[in-house]
Amino acid sequence: MKIIDKYIIKEIAFVTAISFFIFTFFLVMNSLFVMSDLVIKYGVDIINVTKLLLLLLPSTVAVTVPMALLVGVLLTYSRLVQDNEYHGMQASGISILTLAKPGIILALIMTILMILFNNYFLSWSNYSYRKLYYEIIKKRSTIMIQEHTFIDEFDDYTFYIGDKTGKTDGLKNIIVFVKSPDQSEPAKVILARDGKIISDEQSLRIALKLNNGIVQMASRNSFMSMNQIYFDTNFIDLDVKGVLRNKQGQEDLKGSREMTVEELQKEINSANTKHDKNVLKVELQKKFSIPFACLIFALVGIPLGLLSKRGGKIAGISIALAIIFAYYFLLSFGSSYGYSGKFNHFIAVWFSNFSIGAIGIILMIFLVFPDILRKYFRKKNKDISKCK
């Protein structure tokens, strides 16, 4: 490896590492505020909350690594221009492609590493996070559900338990108030004579089983009248902050974000899968498209850095944040249409990469083409001088 390659890679790696810790710190702090509710509001012990936070860290790393690499590449090449090293290298006959090569190589290595990281380690951590959360809720459910008390800790429901039998963990005279996010929805109340908390290790599901009850709901036509539905058995899923509930409402052991590429492909090809295949196909493409952002960000960061004028690090970071925002906005927009099946899954997920990558290629051509012309005319002039 040439000295100049080592010099640029070392600089990019240093700035990327600092940016990575800063981005990760802010995103983890956001999660920390959410986790603090588990300790303060729900009484979960610090050890389990710490484990949850560590298992949540890989999902943060998957996002912050491409972001940090973009900042590292952009600031490194911008500094070369501001310190006049870039012009000195050009005067020495070093081409732009030679300068760009170490940045591209480093980004390619990071892309490969992140593909492996997202496929195996991230899938494992997401699954382990949900399992641990299940164990916490399973233990806390019996503690939180007390007799003669309104329980408001679970998502979507408020409970009132008339009596609790300690020997069988049975519940009697149960009232369930259903929380509706839509204010226009009529109020709904569930009354049951008895019930019991049940859990399923396979599906990581915790539910309140209700027996011999009535569902009372105000009529849509008149809030003064009430509709009633009698039932023998009814199940209400218990969850805190929507972790155990799969977004598609499935009860499979693993969600789409907890599967490896091989598992996703197997579910897509399966005729008996309970998962939404649109979601599976989008998540499969994301396993590659998000790591590939490392290469795309390097491709756009190098020419932007070399084209930058005197603006300092603030200008470079501002440009990087604008690119990051545009990339993840396009990714989120495309993914939502991919989930619904309105867009082709490949295009929906890779559109952000293609868009940012196209800008990088255009900027690179804008830089390289004049450089090639200068070398051509310089060589032409030398040949003319020799002839004279």
**So what's the pLDDT on residue 207?**
78
Judge whether residue 341 has pLDDT over 80.
yes
Judge whether residue 41 has pLDDT over 70.
no
Domain parsing of the chain, residue ranges: 3-139+271-387, 156-237
Can you tell me the distance from the alpha carbon of 205 to that of 339, in angstroms, rounded to the nearest whole number? 24
DSSP 30-79: HHHHHHHHHHHTT---HHHHHHHHHHHHHHHHHHHHHHHHHHHHHHHHHH
What's the whole-number mean pLDDT along residues 172-198? 78
Greater model confidence, 238 or 178: 178
The β-bridge partners of 172 are 163, 194
**So what's the pLDDT on residue 40?**
73
The one-letter amino acid code at 296 reads: I
**So what's the pLDDT on residue 222?**
62
Residue linked to tokens 């005067």: 91
What's the whole-number mean pLDDT along residues 234-262? 66
Percent of the chain with pLDDT over 70: 79
Helix residue ranges per DSSP H, the chain: 3-40, 46-82, 85-91, 96-116, 123-144, 261-269, 277-307, 312-340, 345-387
Q: By C-alpha distance, which of 30, 35, 34 is closest to 48? A: 35
Q: What is the DSSP letter of 256?
A: G
Judge whether residue 51 has pLDDT over 60.
yes
Helix 3-40 crosses helix 96-116 at what angle (to 10 degrees)? 40
Can you tell me the distance from the alpha carbon of 131 to that of 51, in angstroms, rounded to the nearest whole number? 11
Longest pairwise C-alpha distance within the chain: 108
What's the whole-number mean pLDDT along residues 341-356? 91
Q: By C-alpha distance, which of 103, 200, 208 is closest to 161? A: 208
Can you tell me the distance from the alpha carbon of 282 to that of 259, in angstroms, rounded to the nearest whole number? 13
Residue 244 CB contacts under 8 Å (≥ 6 apart), including other chains: 130, 133, 134, 137, 204, 205, 206, 237
pTM, entire model: 0.73
**So what's the pLDDT on residue 285?**
92
pLDDT band at 249 (very low <50, low <70, confident <90, very high): very low
Q: By C-alpha distance, which of 126, 19, 121 is closest to 65? A: 19
| Torsional class of 345: left (φ above 0), alpha (ψ -120 to 50), beta (otherwise) | alpha
Judge whether residue 141 has pLDDT over 70.
no
Can you tell me the distance from the alpha carbon of 13 to that of 302, in angstroms, rounded to the nearest whole number? 14
pLDDT band at 211 (very low <50, low <70, confident <90, very high): confident
Greater model confidence, 89 or 203: 89
